[in-house]
């Protein structure tokens, strides 16, 4: 597997080795030892796997839990998404900075987003099946949504003038409000 750095040093792109033959392909999607050695550099325990399916134009996010922050390892089973991580760690020199990466069934890329980041994605294909591993459990009482189009964050979402949003995601917090609360 190949690990590719992003503009945010703690957020990594992972490209698994894909073995093609006449039957199709095979790949390891997660291997603990390699993951800890090459990606996080420390023991990392996942406790929950999630699966969501979304139609074209859906935008989910930007979500995070505080406390109970979740590291997330994201991959796409079918379709294509623009996946975004925002550094919301007040002590970080990258506080408020974001990175966006295309993950698709054809590039097989995964995104590692550690604890302390908000996460969201926009669906670029007709549908998208997403699976992700999380380092902490779902705690609805600790869940926050940052406004996907917050002007201060300035995320450059592709072709997403009026995305399909959940009710919760239509009324996200501004980054300014979140900053004032931490
Ligand atoms: C996230 C989550 C939701 N649910 C339930 C609550 C709700 O009734 C239903 C749909 O939840 P949501 O609308 O929050 O689903 P969704 O908008 O897909 O939320 C997800 O968005 C992406 C961007 C993330 O990063 C995830 O961590 C998660 O926050 O599923 C769980 O039971 N367990 C979970 O871990």
DSSP string spanning 71-94? -EEEEEEESEEEEEEEE--TTSTT
pLDDT in tens, the chain (182 residues): 999 999 999 999 999 999 999 999 999 999 999 999 999 999 999 999 999 999 999 999 999 999 999 999 999 999 999 999 999 999 999 999 999 999 999 999 999 999 999 999 999 999 999 999 999 999 999 999 999 999 999 999 998 789 999 999 999 999 999 999 98
Domain count, the chain: 1
2 is a domain residue: no
Atom number in ligand 1 closest to CA 168: 13
List CB contacts of 14: < 8 A, sequence separation 6 or more. 1, 2, 3, 4, 39, 73, 109, 110, 111, 112
Say how many Å lie between the first and final Cα of the chain, rounded: 37
Say what the pLDDT of residue 20 is: 98
Asked if residue 148 belongs to a domain, the reply is: yes
User: Is residue 31 in a domain?
Assistant: no
ipTM of the complex: 0.99
Domain extent, residue 130, equals 46-181
Check pocket membership of 100 for ligand 1, CB cut-off 6 A.
no
Minimal-distance CA residue to ligand 1 atom 29: 63
CATH number of the domain that residue 108 is part of? 2.60.120.10
The answer to whether residue 39 is domain-embedded is no
What does the alpha-carbon distance between residue 174 and residue 59 come to, in Å, rounded to a whole number? 17
């Amino acid at each position: 597997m190949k690990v590719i750095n992003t503009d945010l040093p703690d957020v990594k792109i992972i490209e698994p080795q894909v073995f093609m033959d006449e039957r199709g392909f095979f790949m390891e999607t997660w291997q603990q030892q390699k993951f800890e050695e090459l990606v996080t550099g420390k023991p990392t325990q996942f406790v929950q796997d999630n699966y969501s399916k979304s139609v074209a134009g859906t935008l989910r996010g930007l979500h995070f839990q505080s406390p109970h922050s979740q590291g997330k390892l994201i991959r796409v089973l079918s379709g294509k998404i623009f996946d975004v991580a925002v550094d919301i760690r007040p002590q970080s020199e990258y506080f408020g900075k974001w990175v966006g990466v295309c993950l698709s069934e054809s590039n097989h890329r995964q995104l590692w987003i550690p604890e302390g980041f908000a996460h969201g994605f926009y669906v670029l294909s007709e549908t998208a099946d997403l699976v992700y591993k999380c380092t902490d459990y779902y705690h609805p009482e600790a869940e926050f949504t940052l406004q996907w189009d917050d002007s201060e964050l300035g995320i450059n979402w592709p072709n997403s003038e009026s995305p399909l949003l959940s009710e919760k995601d239509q009324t996200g917090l501004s980054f300014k409000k979140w900053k004032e609360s931490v």
